[in-house]
Amino acid sequence: MPVSQTDKIVTISLANGSSAVIYKYGATVTSWKAPNAGAQTPVTERLFLSSKAYLDGSKPIRGGIPIAFPFFGPPSREEDKKMGQHGYARGEVWELLRTVMDNEAGVSVKFGLHLPEEKRTQYGFDYDVRLEYVVTLSVHELTTHLVVHNDSEKPLSHQALLHTYFACDASQVTVSPLKGLTYLDKTRNYAETVETRDEVDVRNYTDAVYKDAGSDFDIKYPGGGIHIHAKGFKDAVVWNPHAEAGRAIADMEEGGWDKYICVEPGMATYWNEIPAKGKWDGQQVLKTL
């Protein structure tokens, strides 16, 4: 069946073997399998999931595509101090709302999250917000689309980011085009730097936040790659902790940093304001090369 579910996961699949797995906890996509574009190649896993990831709902999932909302990184505003890293969205159980599409073009499912009042109080989050997340699978593509509805009587200032872990050999992967962009180098105390490389690699510890990064990026590695088309996000984060920082991550497998690159469209250097009763949406379209 194109859409199947258990109490914890939703699986969507196509006749050619392409598939995606989404955990209801965090609405986190943990697997995306697809062939290379334009060639008769077998379906291949495109996302990295740590073998030490918590899949029991006790902690956000390490790998796949976690959702950062209503902020990126550790809480920097006083009002967010009761929430953990990257906000609450990746640490709550979402509801599968419905199948949006199921035809020859692909299959699409919609998830929703609406915090009850007691949860909003727990998080110190004084807003009535509904989140919707649509995951769409076609033969060579995976689209993840986040919609934020601010049902409050006041504006909401927020960030959001899709923290995608792409499976690859980290020693051979590159990302482009980022040349000429200004970025914050978090490995050097947020030093502001201009990118000079035609193709950015992660052969060293990398944690870079590119500002006004554009909407299209190519991740290339031997035997394939991924094209990212982003909408609604101005920034892009490129991250790989290497052993230098990776060993401090409790749910990261030993050597896991050798197996992925994170390229993350999002709001990381700025805050977006949604008016009362308004909405915002952002998405990424991932396509195999």
Residue type, 202: V
Return mean pLDDT, the chain.
Answer: 97
What's the chain's length in residues? 289
Per-residue pLDDT reduced to its tens digit, 31-69: 999 999 987 889 999 999 999 999 999 999 999 999 999
Note the Cα 149 to chain centre separation in Å: 19
Backbone angles phi, psi at 171, to 5 degrees: -80, -15
Helix segments in 23-67, DSSP class H: none
pLDDT of residue 116: 96
Name the helix (H) or strand (E) containing 210: strand 206-210
- Any catalytic annotation for residue 158? no
The number of helices, as runs of H, and strands, as runs of E, in the chain is 2, 24
pLDDT of residue 40: 81
Taking residues 271-281, what's their average pLDDT? 98
Annotated catalytic residue, options 86, 158, 163, 195: 163
Taking residues 69-89, what's their average pLDDT? 97
Count of alpha carbons within 13 Å of 15, Cβ hemisphere only? 4
Annotated catalytic residue, options 132, 195, 253, 264: 264
pLDDT at 277 exceeding the cut of 90:
yes
With cut-offs at 50, 70 and 90, classify the pLDDT of residue 104: confident
pLDDT of residue 41: 86
Please, are residues 2 and 106 in contact by the beta-carbon 8 Å criterion?
no
CA distance 155 to 160: 16
- Any catalytic annotation for residue 264? yes
> Could you give the angle at the alpha carbon of 12 between the alpha carbons of 257 and 150, nearest 5°?
80
Taking residues 150-176, what's their average pLDDT? 98
Note the Cα 225 to chain centre separation in Å: 17
Residues whose CB falls within 8 Å of the CB of residue 27, separated by 6 or more in sequence, listed in order: 67, 89, 94, 111, 113, 133, 135
Taking residues 175-193, what's their average pLDDT? 98
* Predicted TM-score of the model (pTM): 0.97
Per-residue pLDDT reduced to its tens digit, 207-226: 999 999 999 999 999 999 99
